[in-house]
């Protein structure tokens, strides 16, 4: 993407991104800023002798850790599953009107030709690839067009621990069930999001969790049990229906190379990640299990820390199958080219990867930075970088946009993005019609298959 980009502009963007990360993180009352070393904040460690030794205290720059023993290894082969063989992609929705494939070797009606008259869902399904949308809720008007354009869905909020259980002992699965029913009725693959997330009490996790943990005689054991119960209950409820889970969301600090000092990390150190993955694997051995993270750039300390963490998890036998990479970026974001190397590096660890949360926002400077280009055309170029990086990686199994259409996007309600609302960051416009980025992704899928 050729975008004019001077130093002042980049600094301003960086400030806005920092502000954005800070605000999201601010719901967590102790976001370990990890200014240089990424050390966990010992002052906040719950005084828990059982866990201090190998968990919270000493290590925390990712890469030299010593925690869960190899005994926990589950020598599974789920990481090798070939997603293209998955039933969910072989469904009828792919074939409806475009790819009547009875003609055997005749490929004139394939969706994988340039400019084929196919929807994104049809093209993706034929390629054995997932193109998904996050669903705001079971009554969102955009749901009507989801099966036409997407072959995968994620609940934007409904399956988060704090949405299911606003309080630890007060759970309600009705909304999540409704979205699962919608997916089943329309033959859509489901990504489950997210079993354990340290941000936003009452949303990412139960609102009373931290208090209960801190009051417990043995906080480590209490929290371990709570994670284990929640993960087993939720994953077994949807076993066989959720194809992949974001088991842990955003374990790393916003910047730097350390873990985020949330309630999970402060109490259990990195062990909480192992606990969640082990429970999920036992509850549904066939589900692909992901670690999901967001990044403000696709190179630098956080990228290195994330790769080191993945490697450690693999090395100590944690049943992880893949990494979810968020992509909440600006249309004018520079320096996205490293994304491709990053995805390949994840695949090199033997893990799948998916782009789990894409949206391309505009920003205060977009007029200036786009130099007169149409927003939607520049946005198509930005999406193209992500689509190309994913499709050219050895095992990037899908991409998901964080919303269905431009009439509903979380960016319009979160600072600093909300200053520039409407952000119009998705693949369908407010009338539910495909935008240029939609066709770019469709072409890219065809090109790479």
Q: How far apart are CA 139 and CA 221, in angstroms?
A: 39
For residues 234-247, one letter each, b for 16 or more C-beta atoms within 10 angstroms of the residue's C-beta and e for the rest, the string is bbebbeebbbbbbb
Using CB under 6 A as the binding rule, whether residue 157 contacts ligand XIL is answered as yes
Active site residue 250: yes
Could you tell me the smallest distance in angstroms from the CB atom of residue 341 to ligand XIL? 23
Contacts of 141 (CB under 8 A, 6+ apart): 407
DSSP H or E stretch at residue 278: helix 271-283
CB-nearer residue toward ligand XIL: 10 or 203: 203
Could you tell me the smallest distance in angstroms from the CB atom of residue 191 to ligand XIL? 11
SS3 at position 275: helix
Q: Where on the phi/psi map is residue 104: left (φ > 0), alpha (ψ -120 to 50), or beta?
A: left
CB-nearer residue toward ligand XIL: 21 or 45: 21
Using CB under 6 A as the binding rule, whether residue 326 contacts ligand XIL is answered as yes
Active site residue 374: no
Select from 156, 210, 311, 406 the one that contacts ligand XIL (CB under 6 A).
156
Whose CB is nearest to ligand XIL?
Answer: 410
Best CA proximity match to 292, nearest among 278, 281, 276: 276
Distance between first and last Cα of the chain: 23
Q: How far apart are CA 363 and CA 419, in angstroms?
A: 8
Could you tell me the smallest distance in angstroms from the CB atom of residue 118 to ligand XIL? 29
Crossing angle of helices 120-127 and 436-447, rounded to 10°? 20
SS3 at position 396: strand
Select from 222, 259, 366, 410 the one that contacts ligand XIL (CB under 6 A).
410
Site string for ligand XIL, 234-253 (x = CB under 6 A): ---------------x----
Using CB under 6 A as the binding rule, whether residue 28 contacts ligand XIL is answered as no
Best CA proximity match to 187, nearest among 117, 121, 259: 121
Could you tell me the smallest distance in angstroms from the CB atom of residue 411 to ligand XIL? 8
Using CB under 6 A as the binding rule, whether residue 423 contacts ligand XIL is answered as no
Using CB under 6 A as the binding rule, whether residue 31 contacts ligand XIL is answered as no
CB-nearer residue toward ligand XIL: 45 or 428: 428
Could you tell me the smallest distance in angstroms from the CB atom of residue 246 to ligand XIL? 7
CB-nearer residue toward ligand XIL: 222 or 294: 294
Q: How far apart are CA 167 and CA 230, in angstroms?
A: 12
CB-nearer residue toward ligand XIL: 31 or 156: 156
SS3 at position 87: helix
Could you tell me the smallest distance in angstroms from the CB atom of residue 415 to ligand XIL? 12
Could you tell me the smallest distance in angstroms from the CB atom of residue 182 to ligand XIL? 18
Crossing angle of helices 338-348 and 375-392, rounded to 10°? 30
- From the list 126, 250, 333, 354, the catalytic residue is 250
For residues 72-88, one letter each, b for 16 or more C-beta atoms within 10 angstroms of the residue's C-beta and e for the rest, the string is eeeeeebbebebeebeb
Residue found by looking up tokens 């996050």 in the block:
134
Cβ–Cβ under 8 Å, residues 192 and 153: no
Site string for ligand XIL, 329-368 (x = CB under 6 A): ----------------------------x-----------
CB-nearer residue toward ligand XIL: 156 or 260: 156
Could you tell me the smallest distance in angstroms from the CB atom of residue 409 to ligand XIL? 8
**DSSP for residue 410:** G
Site string for ligand XIL, 109-148 (x = CB under 6 A): ----------------------------------------
Site string for ligand XIL, 265-304 (x = CB under 6 A): -----------------------------x----------
Could you tell me the smallest distance in angstroms from the CB atom of residue 156 to ligand XIL? 5
Contacts of 122 (CB under 8 A, 6+ apart): 93, 94, 95, 96, 97, 98, 99, 111
- Beta bridge partner(s), residue 249: 197, 292
CB-nearer residue toward ligand XIL: 45 or 164: 164
Site string for ligand XIL, 367-406 (x = CB under 6 A): ----------------------------------------
DSSP string, 126-141: HHT-EEEEEE--TT-G
Using CB under 6 A as the binding rule, whether residue 88 contacts ligand XIL is answered as no
Catalytic residue set: 250, 357
Q: State the residues that interact with ligand XIL by CB under 6 A.
A: 156-157, 249, 294, 326, 357, 410
């Amino acid at each position: 993407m050729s975008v004019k980009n001077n130093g002042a502009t980049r600094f301003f963007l960086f400030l806005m991104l920092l502000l954005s990360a800070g605000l999201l993180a601010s719901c967590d009352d102790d976001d370990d800023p990890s200014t240089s070393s990424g050390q966990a904040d010992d002052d906040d460690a719950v005084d828990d002798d059982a866990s201090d030794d190998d968990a919270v205290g000493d290590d925390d720059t990712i890469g030299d850790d010593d925690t869960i023993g190899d005994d926990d290894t589950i020598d599974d082969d789920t990481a090798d599953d070939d997603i293209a063989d998955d039933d969910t992609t072989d469904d009828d929705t792919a074939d409806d009107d475009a790819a009547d494939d009875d003609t055997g070797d005749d490929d004139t009606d394939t969706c994988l030709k340039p400019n084929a008259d196919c929807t994104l869902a049809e093209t993706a399904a034929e390629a054995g690839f997932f193109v998904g949308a996050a669903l705001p809720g079971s009554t969102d008007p955009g749901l009507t067009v989801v099966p036409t354009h997407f072959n995968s869905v994620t609940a934007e909020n409904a399956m988060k621990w704090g949405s299911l259980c606003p309080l630890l002992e007060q759970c309600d699965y009705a909304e999540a069930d409704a979205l699962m029913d919608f997916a089943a009725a329309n033959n859509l693959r489901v990504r489950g999001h997210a079993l354990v997330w340290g941000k936003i009490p009452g949303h990412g996790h139960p609102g009373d969790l931290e208090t209960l943990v801190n009051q417990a005689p043995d906080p480590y054991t209490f929290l371990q049990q709570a994670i284990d119960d929640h993960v087993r209950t939720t994953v077994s409820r949807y076993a066989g229906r959720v194809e992949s889970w974001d088991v842990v969301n955003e374990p790393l600090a916003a910047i730097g190379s350390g873990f985020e000092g949330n309630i999970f990390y402060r109490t259990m150190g990195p062990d909480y990640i192992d606990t969640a993955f082990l429970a999920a694997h036992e509850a549904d051995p066939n589900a692909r299990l992901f670690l999901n993270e967001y990044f403000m750039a696709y190179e630098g300390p956080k990228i290195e820390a994330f790769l080191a963490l993945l490697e450690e998890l693999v090395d100590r036998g944690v049943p992880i199958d893949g990494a979810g990479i968020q992509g909440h970026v600006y249309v004018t974001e520079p320096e996205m080219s490293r994304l491709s190397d990053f995805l390949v590096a994840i695949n090199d660890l033997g893990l799948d990867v998916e782009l789990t949360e894409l949206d391309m926002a505009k920003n205060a400077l977009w007029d200036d930075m786009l130099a007169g280009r149409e927003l939607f055309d520049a946005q198509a170029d930005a999406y193209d970088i992500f689509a190309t990086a994913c499709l050219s990686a050895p095992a990037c199994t899908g991409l998901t946009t964080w919303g269905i259409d431009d009439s509903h996007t979380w960016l319009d309600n979160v600072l600093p993005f909300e200053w520039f609302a409407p952000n119009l960051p998705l693949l369908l416009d407010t009338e539910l019609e495909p935008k240029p980025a939609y066709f770019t992704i469709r072409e890219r899928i065809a090109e790479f298959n």
